[in-house]
Amino acid sequence: MELQSFLSKDHTNWNEYTEEYNCVNYAMDLVANASEQDIHAWLVAVDFKDDEIGHVFVAFETTNKGIVWIEPQSDYALLKTDVGKPLCHVADTSYCMPGIISKIRDDIECNPITHDCREK
């Protein structure tokens, strides 16, 4: 409930996606906004097989669902997945990002200008 309430009040997902403001920026802003509300959140990145471009999203620790992955561009929950599988939405499992996950990096730091991410 706390996570849903926070996401409904946070408008990071209203930002326009551009080359300069992409998934890294959405995720960093959502984590910063959560921190301001004393909500623990962190960045997670996935790399896709045969693709140079990965994806960054946000993890939240909840009391009733454990760790929940959130797509900060839409506020949709993502299915917890693993290497060798796609990254899909919980509400509509037919919607998956293109590609198969080759690596999952949990608790990373990203540069908002270069969009490079590395493990802490």
Top-tier CATH class for 2-109: alpha beta
Task: Give domain limits for the chain.
Answer: 2-109
Distance CA 114, CA 20 (A): 9
Residue 13, φ and ψ in degrees, nearest 5:
-65, -10
pLDDT at position 53: 84
Poorest-pLDDT segment among 9-23, 26-40, 106-120: 106-120
Distance CA 97, CA 40 (A): 25
Confidence bin at 52 (pLDDT 50/70/90): confident
30 compared with 116, residue with greater pLDDT: 30
pLDDT at 1 over 90: no
Kindly report the pTM of this predicted structure: 0.91
